[in-house]
Amino acid sequence: MPLVRITIRAGKSLQYKNAVLDGVHEALVQAFKIPDHDRFQILSEHVKDHFEAPAGKTDSVTIIELTVFRGRSAEAKKLLYRTIVDILAKAPGIPGDDIIIVLHEPALENWGIRGGKPASEVDMGFKIDV
């Protein structure tokens, strides 16, 4: 049950934004083996004056923050990062150097899900330790 927060600069088309959302989700399905229906995503846009980035970044600069269940291997995480960059390079065409990915992994007991139960006490229905 990844929680995805994506931040971009304002002014992109709906098609562009959907490609970003779809691409990040597809990468999670491929790399972390989450179910396709397991999709919680928020895309936020900021005008350039409210979204600073280092020199050399384009207006496609994108920050992707993923809060995920702890337990994925280092290899699965590397695969996720590569897959996100590869997919977003194709559509909508974001240069790899413009993508920043941050992974947050709170312990399962720090997630309240399915009616207020700690995730550590819930059968997720899929493997977390990929």
20-32: pLDDT as tens digits: 999 999 999 999 9
pLDDT bucket at 126, cuts 50 / 70 / 90 = confident
| 130 within some domain | no
Which residue range forms the structural domain that includes residue 55?
A: 3-121
- Do residues 10 and 45 make contact, with C-beta atoms less than 8 angstroms apart? yes
37-60: pLDDT as tens digits: 999 999 999 999 999 999 999 999
| 55 within some domain | yes
Spatial neighbors of 97 by CB under 8 A, at least 6 apart, are 56, 57
pLDDT of 50 reads 97
Using CA atoms, how far apart are residues 34 and 75, in angstroms rounded to an integer? Answer: 16
pLDDT of 125 reads 85
| 82 within some domain | yes
- Do residues 103 and 68 make contact, with C-beta atoms less than 8 angstroms apart? yes
Q: What value does the mean pLDDT take over residues 101-125?
A: 92
CATH of the domain at 25: 3.30.429.10
| 126 within some domain | no
Provide the domain count of the chain: 1
pLDDT bucket at 19, cuts 50 / 70 / 90 = very high
| 129 within some domain | no
